[in-house]
Amino acid sequence: MADFEPTSITGGGGDTVRCRYCGQLNRARTDGGQARCGRCRLTLSNEPHIKFADLDKHSYVHPLDSRSLAALRAIPGLDRAVTKLLNLTGEPFLNVIMMASAVRVTPLQCPDLYAKLQVACTTLGVDMPELYVMQSPVVNAFTYGVDRTIIVLFSGLLERLTDEEVLAVIAHEVGHIHAEHVLYLTAANLIMAIARGAITAAPISNLITQIISATMEAALKAWMRRAELSCDRAALLVTQDPDVIGRTMMKLSGGTYASRLDYQQFLQQARDFQKNYDDKALDRFWADIITSGLTHPFPVWRVSEILAWVESGEYERVLHGAEAESAAA
Ligand SMILES: [Zn+2]
Ligand SMILES: [Zn+2]
């Protein structure tokens, strides 16, 4: 008797299932159908979900991310310029926008999203950031904030994705925190928001050109796209299912039309992409991405990179390294 934690849902008796993601006790379904956790809404199953005791970012950071980050850091005066930019413009400004126009996620407001954030943070070993949902048809999310880290999900994304796919997106954003991307990411997001006209307070755009040189801006944007590849891997380490990442990318790529796309064909397209590029073509590809100004211009490429990581055996090694760790603890 004392072995069981008291829980309201076990009141009627019968078997219980503990959610492998968030730990909530749920009453087992008797009809054999696919049940979801009452707290985080992710699928209940007897498969284990691995939590990392001490995940090293170097175990998953993509080599293209490390290389372009090194190039970025080699620019003289970069850190001083970025810090100055954020002090003058970024955080207080963005925080006002958030508080005024977005919904803050708490254990009482959108509790399943709060639970998913907790799942991502406990899996990767990251302190809980704040999470907001912003009304917008855009299928996107971003992370910013050096003093206070904030993740923002656009409502268009939540409307289109399944619970597992929402976890993947949140985990990708938590990955930016774990991989220590947030300082440069905030600067890059701010520069791009101003370029798109999303932030129209005039003095800010003038300040940016004074503080951030064209070289710094180009290097920040180049790195930002490559940093995505690392965080897709972090998302896989949380969902522990490559197909969840693949389907999320298909929806980012296909938009509302994604429900009519064939997932296997999409995977084949990603494999063809990986097979057909050479380094020269790749350079042109990145150059196009950087100049395109699109927020998510390369889902097929991102899936091809995730497939390559899984097929190299690296993903399994990182995952089972964690298992060995927790067994030894
Ligand atoms: Zn749960
Ligand atoms: Zn990202």
Q: Say if residue 42's pLDDT is above 80.
A: yes
Average pLDDT over residues 249-275: 80
The closest alpha carbon to 195, from 99, 86, 291, belongs to 291
pLDDT, position 234: 98
Ligand closest to the CA atom of residue 42: 1
Q: How far is the CA of 59 from the centre of ligand 1 (A)?
A: 27
pLDDT, position 202: 55
Distance CA(310)–CA(242), nearest Å, equals: 8
pLDDT, position 51: 96
Residue 301, token pair as written in the block: 């490429």
Q: Are 176 and 215 in contact (CB under 8 A)?
A: no
Q: Say if residue 322's pLDDT is above 90.
A: no
Ligand closest to the CA atom of residue 43: 1
Strand-pairing partners, residue 151, are 131, 143
- Mean pLDDT, all residues of the chain: 83
Determine which one of 91, 164, 165, 173 is catalytic: 173
CA distances from 73 to 70, 80, 162, 175, 216 (A): 5, 11, 38, 20, 9
Q: How far is the CA of 185 from the centre of ligand 1 (A)?
A: 30
The predicted-structure confidence for 308-320, as pLDDT tens digits, reads as follows 999 999 999 999 9
CB atoms within 10 A of CB 74: 9
Q: How far is the CA of 78 from the centre of ligand 2 (A)?
A: 21
The predicted-structure confidence for 59-108, as pLDDT tens digits, reads as follows 999 999 999 999 999 999 999 998 888 877 656 667 777 777 899 999 99
Q: Is the dihedral of CA 14, 15, 20, 24 positive or negative?
A: positive
Distance CA(268)–CA(64), nearest Å, equals: 23
Average pLDDT over residues 42-55: 93
Strand-pairing partners, residue 103, are 133
| Ion ligand 1: residues, CB < 5 A | 19, 21-22, 24, 37, 39-40
pLDDT, position 4: 39
Residue 211, token pair as written in the block: 């503080």
The answer to whether residue 173 is catalytic is: yes
Which amino acid is located at 116 in the chain?
A: K
273 vs 23, more confident:
23
Ligand closest to the CA atom of residue 65: 2
Q: Say if residue 196's pLDDT is above 70.
A: no
Q: How far is the CA of 17 from the centre of ligand 1 (A)?
A: 10
